[in-house]
Amino acid sequence: MAQIGYSHRPVALGRQGMVAAAHPLATLAGVEVLKAGGTAADAAVAVNAVLAVTQPNMCGLGGDFFCLYYEAATHRVHFLNGGGCSGSRAGLDELTRRGMERLPVIGPATVSVPGCVRAWAMLLKRFGTRPLDELLAPAIRAADGFPLTSLVSQAIQEYVAVTPDAEWHRVFLPAGRVPRFGEPFAQPDLARTLRDLAGEGPDLFYAGRVGRAIARRLERDGFLTADDLAAHTGEWGEPISTTYRDVTVYETPPPTQGLAALVGLNLLEGFPLATLPIHSAEHLHLLIETVKLAYADRDRWIGDPAHARVPVGALLAKDYAARRRAQFDPKKAQSYACGDPEGDTTGFVVADGGGNVISVIQSLFNAFGSGVVVPGTGVTLQNRGRHFSLDPSHPAVLAPRKRPFHTLIASIVTREPQPVMAFATMGGNGQAMFHVQVLTNVFDYGMDIQEAIERPRFLIGAFLPGDPADATHIEERVPEGVRRALEAKGHHVNAAPEFFSRVGHAHGIVLRDGTLMGGADPRGDGVALGF
């Protein structure tokens, strides 16, 4: 029988700074910025820029950016919404006019405004101390050529037959074939874009050379226009939060699914979770059913708050959690609608020596986003627009200049007024359930952050032919007897690989008594480093 409850990696330790990110070159870039006296915001931009080069399937300049930033000077958690809107030509009538019965999964019609670059500038303006050209230098070096990891090589191989975009094939099959593991992979057009961005700033992307190229590429079969790009801006706002045990958990608000993680924690707070043996059938049954309840609320209510009423306060009320909790049946599984579990993203966390902490989530949505690379730029555009609803009564119905529903979330936890944890993970639809699993590992079971990340996780949703909507994929480090006991309760259990990449590549930092403790997920290429 497989043993669980061990860590394959040690916890990273430090006092002056810590970075946990999904690629070693990105983590090193962030550490270098921190060692030079930069803030968590400065390091976050350097980290993200390198990830945009080294994880082109997961994230990039053509995607969106959300973060929570704990400002040590004020003890406040700030929310930066770097999500872009749909194009001014988007709408149900336009779909009908084009003879489209539904939104496609990839292609120009799925592209919304890429908000990442503008968000970087906004983050640096408020909390940064270093110039953009300095922060982008490591990414530019990587774009001139870096050794490809096996995960990215595999992702390119899997995507070759998916996208018909000629520019994507030219960029990612530079010698007419898939680049091999360890082979230097250069992206000269992206290197030029990064150099221009370092010199010109974010307007390059929204009114300059890159913005004009995006508009030209989408002119015929997309919804975006040059005016949509020029009008884009991100927004600073307030996070949403709830208390859980003796901590306060902050998450990114709608249009992201951070609400689902908080609803799930509110439900779990009424159960003596720590009395249940870890990864027993009783433990997993409770978590799975809680997640189903939270996701049912998510799917009904979350949309762009600028265009729809999202009852955040009512959904996070403790008495509402008590009413919903009563629906839990400890003996059997129940059916609730869950979404599509696909999604490729990068989540990373940074803590600096001044006490500032940032948790970032940045994404193209699906692997390689829309599959559309803008000629001459090296920029792959996101397919976040595929998440709009075609139901006219739904909060996330397709409409012009509207932010789509986002699976992207980031979390900061405080024991007021000090931060005690920052956490983010890729994983599309599964991100909220992964937050619930890892945070309860830390705050109910007392695990260190590395073990909390490495423990077996589950993912609910259909992504294999024939899967029911509530298929529950559980890493097979959970003993077979437990999986059978869950099946006896009515769960549709699929045994997943021991370290299953679809259950997220998680990264976290725990802050305790002046020590920074970092964890990185062995399911991905990431690493945590402190000093």
Which structure tokens are listed for 118?
């503008």
Q: Which amino acid is at 86?
A: S
Asked if omega into 255 is within 30° of 0 (cis), the reply is yes
Q: Secondary structure of 277-311 in the HEC alphabet?
A: CCCCHHHHHHHHHHHHHHHHHHHHHCCCCCCCCCC
Please give the Cα distance from 174 to 168 (Å, whole number). Answer: 10
Cβ atoms within 10 Å, residue 107: 20
* Sequential DSSP letters for 365-429: ESTTTTSEEETTTTEEEP-GGGG-B--TTSTTB--TT-PPPB----EEEEETTEEEEEEEE--GG
Catalytic site includes residue 345: yes
Q: Report whether 233 contacts 205 (CB < 8 A).
A: no
Contacts of 231 (CB under 8 A, 6+ apart): 401
Which structure tokens are listed for 434?
């992964």
Q: Secondary structure of 314-340 in the HEC alphabet?
A: HHCCHHHHHHHHCCCCCCCCCCCCCCC
Q: Report whether 311 contacts 321 (CB < 8 A).
A: no
CA-to-CA separations, 53 to 22, 63, 185, 240, in angstroms, rounded: 12, 13, 10, 31
Q: Which residue has the tokens 């789509």?
A: 404
Please give the Cα distance from 515 to 421 (Å, whole number). Answer: 12
Cβ atoms within 10 Å, residue 286: 19
Please give the Cα distance from 298 to 301 (Å, whole number). Answer: 6
Asked if omega into 277 is within 30° of 0 (cis), the reply is no
* Sequential DSSP letters for 10-42: PPEEESS-EEEESSHHHHHHHHHHHHTT--HHH
Catalytic residue among 252, 290, 345, 472: 345
Q: Which residue has the tokens 């915001």?
A: 41
Q: In this structure, are strands 492-496 and 471-475 parallel, antiparallel, or unpaired? A: parallel
The three-point CA angle 250-361-248 to 5° equals 10
Residues labelled catalytic = 345
